[in-house]
Amino acid sequence: MRRRPFVVASLAAACGGALAVPARLGAQELAPARLQRRLGRGGRTVPAIGMGTWLTFDVGDDTQEREQRRHVLQRFFAAGGGMIDSSPMYGSAERVVGELLPGLPHEGRLVAATKVWTPLTGLGPGQLERSLKEWRVPRFDVLLVHNLLNWRAHLQLLRRAKDDGRARLIGISTSHGNRHDDVERILKSEPIDVLQITYNLADTRAEPLLALAAERGVGVVVNRPFDGGQLFDAVGRCAVPPWAAEAGCLTWTAFFLKWIVAHPAVGCAIPATRQPGHMDENMAAGTGALPDAATRRRMQGLIATL
């Protein structure tokens, strides 16, 4: 689904003609009770809403941009956030996160998640060491092979890292529906703890793999929960329908994120933002009621009309 000029009009029709700008949620309105999910059979419990860093935290040494990202992290932890996902592929993001973390209130709650991303087997160990230094952490809570790149060799590195305490949970990541056949093969044959994959209201192709992951006791982290932001473009200025609000989805942000984390196989969704206000909204979606299976189907049906 991509931005189309008639999208707002068609959703207005789907919503019974109601058009309004959804109210923004302020930090003071955040409820304290966090939705927590277990990350796979052997995994730890994590807050259901984490955060990503692709593009958003690749700000290098730009002082102004860094200050804004510091606020984003502040709001994240103030609202009980845990998982931060990054990768050596994300430019300066790992270093920026590592330099901003000291002084922020994350003691005992940070779930540090990164990846190994290189086609060359010999470069994997050095990359992992660099990531540990950039994050300034002794170990990663989640360590994945990025986009399945050279996954056979790197899974061995990840197993060694798990054995010697540099990683707690290990696994693979993919996105945009890529290489689902390989993901299925790995889920069936490799002892991994975590799968990171794209799953959102515009892209539900991962569904069979979510079921398989649950069956294998593998925790699921969901990337691109807003379809890279395009879900917001698609709903435009239409109001959230009352039946969704009754199910705990008061904003479109909550509508998109709660639909994901209400799936029983999902441990955590990792939306990315540059904006503290958006972080408040994202974290607010990690509180309160979740839609049941019938409501999830109705939510999906609504978005499918766009």
Side-chain-side CA neighbours of 256 within 13 Å: the count stands at: 28
HEC string of 16-85?
Answer: CCCECCCCCCCHHHCCCCCCEEECCCCCCEEECECEECCCCCCCCCCHHHHHHHHHHHHHHHHCCCCEEE
Question: Token pair for residue 82?
Answer: 């845990």
Give me the residue label for tokens 């540059």.
274
Is 274 a binding residue for ligand NAP by CB under 6 A? The answer is yes
Question: CA 173 to CA 155: how far, in whole Å?
Answer: 12
- Beta-bridge partners for 200: 203
Q: Which is nearer to ligand NAP, 161 or 279 (CB)?
A: 279
Shortest distance in whole angstroms from residue 142 CB to ligand NAP:
11
**Which stretch in 9-17, 35-43, 128-136, 268-276 sits in contact with ligand NAP by CB under 6 A?**
268-276
**Which stretch in 19-27, 36-44, 212-220, 278-286 sits in contact with ligand NAP by CB under 6 A?**
278-286
Among 281, 283, 286, 303, binds ligand NAP (CB under 6 A): 281
Neighbours of 77 (CB within 10 A): 18
Is 253 a binding residue for ligand NAP by CB under 6 A? The answer is yes
Is 272 a binding residue for ligand NAP by CB under 6 A? The answer is yes
Provide the Cα torsion 146, 152, 155, 160; round to 10°. -140
What SS3 state is found at 122?
helix
Q: Which residue is nearest to ligand NAP (CB)?
A: 52
Question: Token pair for residue 180?
Answer: 């689902």
Is 227 a binding residue for ligand NAP by CB under 6 A? The answer is yes
Per-residue binder mask for ligand NAP (CB under 6 A), 137-156, x = binder: ---------xx---------
Q: Which is nearer to ligand NAP, 225 or 291 (CB)?
A: 225
Among 40, 43, 52, 82, binds ligand NAP (CB under 6 A): 52
83-85 vs 51-52, strand pairing mode:
parallel
Is 223 a binding residue for ligand NAP by CB under 6 A? The answer is yes
In angstroms, the first-to-last Cα distance of the chain is: 8
Among 22, 228, 267, 291, binds ligand NAP (CB under 6 A): 228
Segment 53 to 72, residues that bind ligand NAP, using CB under 6 A: 53-54, 56
Which residues sit at the interface with ligand NAP, rule CB under 6 A?
52-54, 56, 85, 146-147, 173-175, 196, 223-229, 232, 253, 270-275, 278, 281-282
